[in-house]
Amino acid sequence: MSVLITLPADHLHRQPRPASKPTISSHTFSGRQSFAPGNTRPDNYYTEIVHTRYKMEATSAATFSIGSTTSFGPKLSLNPQSKAWGVRFNPKNSLKSLKAAMSFGFHPKAQKQNQISRKNFQPQASYKVAILGAAGGIGQPLALLIKMSPLVSALHLYDIANVKGVTADLSHCNTPSQTLDFTGASELGSCLKGVDVVVIPAGVPRKPGMTRDDLFNINANIVKSLVEAVADNCPDAFIHIISNPVNSTVPIAAEVLKKKGVYDPKKLFGVTTLDVVRANTFVAQKKNLRIIDVDVPVIGGHAGITILPLLSKTKPLVSFTDEEIQELTVRIQNAGTEVVEAKAGAGSATLSMAYAAARFVESSLRAIDGDSDVYECCFVESELTELPFFASRVKLGKKGVEAVISSDLQGLSEYEQKALEALKPELKASIDKGIAFANKQAVAT
């Protein structure tokens, strides 16, 4: 028997349909909830689903999911007359899984229970995810979160150091996916073969006093060589670039893929989800809102003033004083530095970044799996402005970016309009720097 957990109406917010994308229809749920394109589900929208589900399935740990659950996807009807948002949960299987999980290694019938559990732990969908730089500060917690996704059947962990131990450790978690380790250039190809999503957090992080651009010299080469391997081994995969400076590493990746003749702009993403996660958190705190309700689009790029939270587009509708806008905008732009300074030389954001990256992976997998209602902000090739790459909300589909949502850029406040113009020269310089770097390099064949 399946139980449909229905979320309250206030989890969804109304927003006008973007005029420039008339082909995407808006969807109404239960006749009273509306979710239109240009609107993303509120950040943490899924947390409540996850929370409920996690509580129900407690220690089985087989179905925990960041950002979504397996039951989203084709099973979710988007028919206007159809059901409310919901999640299918099978208490019968869950109970079996729970019992089986609890009996591992203790019960004389453990072997049999293991078989039962193996059957019950089978993911409802099976995608392969690779993390390049998996033994690092971001890589490790990200691997753990992805290991908990029921959408993932195989998790390939690659690093130049220490990845064996991370993989051995993670492989003991009784979740469906198989975890495999790969190390050194000779194993990179095997790591990437057949992979659906590649996440790249490889590289050095900031230390106090450094800008993201200071990382360019080291990380540019790392990203270049890793993306060459992606081009050779899994050119159809979604590529998520986390390594900074994202404003330059994404253009580098694009140039490498072009030289290899496999560039698909719809499948190359700079991960800016952390900016949205931070914006939502800070706004909820400031305005005393339920965190689950808050959604702030963040556009531009991923460094300093190129990060532009559109507070005027906050859902739910909320008004800010000029001082609040200034304070929140600056805090969101400098939030990475806040963490770098607090860590005092021990690195940059890793846990919140892993959380944000896991959300973006989960969104990508749901889109690949057929969920036709997935929206995320990310840094992609774009025609929204005169810049060749720009972060904005996009609609994700099976083949990557299905639509860039332009409505967020309409009706900006004067503050945002000025900030948008002010960020363009810096963002353009970072993009150009990445392109120039890639074009100076020979591409490995």
Instruction: Report the residue number, 332 or 353, with the smaller CB distance to ligand NAD.
Output: 353
Stretch that binds ligand NAD, among 130-138, 168-176, 277-285, 303-311 (CB under 6 A): 130-138
DSSP string, 329-398: HHHHHHHHHHHHHHHTTS-S--HHHHHHHHHHHHHHHHHHTT-S-EEEEEEEE-SSSSSSEEEEEEEEET
- Contacting residues for 441 by C-beta, under 8 A, at least 6 apart: 224
Q: Which member of 204, 305, 351, 429 binds ligand NAD (CB under 6 A)?
A: 204
Regarding 161 and contact with ligand NAD (CB under 6 A), the answer is: yes
Q: How far is the CB of 298 from ligand NAD (least distance, A)?
A: 11
Find out whether 57 and 73 touch, Cβ atoms under 8 Å.
no
How many residues sit close enough to ligand NAD to count as binding (CB under 6 A)?
33
Query: Could you tell me if 140 and 108 are in contact, meaning their C-beta atoms sit under 8 angstroms apart?
Result: no
Phi, psi of 91 (to 5 degrees): -65, -30
Contacts for 418 with CB less than 8 Å, ≥ 6 apart: none
Whether the upstream peptide bond of residue 245 has omega within 30° of 0, thus cis, is: yes
Q: Could you count the other beta carbons within 10 Å of the beta carbon of residue 346?
A: 12
Q: Site mask, ligand NAD, residues 60-89, x = CB under 6 A?
A: ------------------------------
Q: Does 246 bind ligand NAD (CB under 6 A)?
A: yes
- Of 78, 110, 116, 160, the residue at the interface with ligand NAD (CB under 6 A) is 160
Q: Considering beta carbons, is residue 98 or 129 the nearer one to ligand NAD?
A: 129
287-290 LR contacts (CB < 8 Å, sep 24+): 287/318, 287/320, 289/316, 289/318
Cβ closer to ligand NAD: 159 or 295? 159
Question: Does 215 interact with ligand NAD (rule: CB under 6 A)?
Answer: yes
139 binds ligand NAD (CB under 6 A): yes
Contact call for residue 271 and ligand NAD (CB under 6 A): yes
Q: Tell whether residue 159 is a contact of ligand NAD (CB under 6 A).
A: yes
Residue with tokens 């997935």: 374
Task: Give me 111's structure tokens.
Answer: 């072997």
353 binds ligand NAD (CB under 6 A): yes
What one-letter code names the amino acid at 103?
S
Two structure tokens written together for 50? 């996850």
The residue whose Cβ lies closest to ligand NAD is 136
Pairing of β 238-241 and β 268-270:
parallel
Measured CA to CA, the distance from residue 278 to residue 336 in angstroms comes to 9
**Does 303 participate in binding ligand NAD (rule CB under 6 A)?**
no
Helix axes 246-259, 414-440, angle to 10 degrees: 40
Give least dist CB 439 to ligand NAD, A. Answer: 21
Q: Please identify, among the stretches 29-37, 94-102, 219-227, 368-376, the one whose residues bind ligand NAD according to the rule CB under 6 A.
A: 219-227
Residue 253 is a binding residue for ligand NAD (CB under 6 A): no
- Least Å distance between CB 208 and ligand NAD? 13
**Nearer CB in complex with ligand NAD: 53/240:** 240
The Cα angle at residue 268 between residues 412 and 437, in degrees rounded to 5:
95
Give every CB contact of residue 319 below 8 A, 6+ residues apart in sequence.
Answer: none
Select from 243-251, 282-290, 423-431, 435-443 the region that touches ligand NAD (CB under 6 A): 243-251
- To the nearest whole angstrom, how small is the minimum distance from the Cβ of residue 107 to ligand NAD? 38
Pick 135 or 311: Cβ nearer ligand NAD: 135
Report helix, strand or coil for 99.
helix
Check residue 132 for interaction with ligand NAD (CB under 6 A): yes
Q: Which is nearer to ligand NAD, 27 or 212 (CB)?
A: 212
154 within 8 A of 128, measured Cβ to Cβ: yes
Which of 168, 205, 172 minimizes the C-alpha distance to 183? 168
Residues noted as catalytic: 302
Please report whether residue 137 would count as binding ligand NAD according to CB under 6 A: yes
The answer to whether 75 touches 373, Cβ cutoff 8 Å, is no
Among 152, 202, 237, 299, binds ligand NAD (CB under 6 A): 202
Among residues 38, 42, 73, 133, which is the contact residue for ligand NAD, using CB under 6 A?
133
CB of 8 to ligand NAD, least distance (A): 31
Interface with ligand NAD (CB under 6 A), residue from 349, 377, 387, 391: 349
- Report the C-alpha dihedral over residues 300, 22, 374, 231, rounded to 10 degrees: -70
The residues that touch ligand NAD, with contacts defined as CB under 6 A, are 132-133, 135-139, 158-161, 201-206, 215, 219, 222, 226, 242-244, 246, 271, 274, 302, 347-350, 353
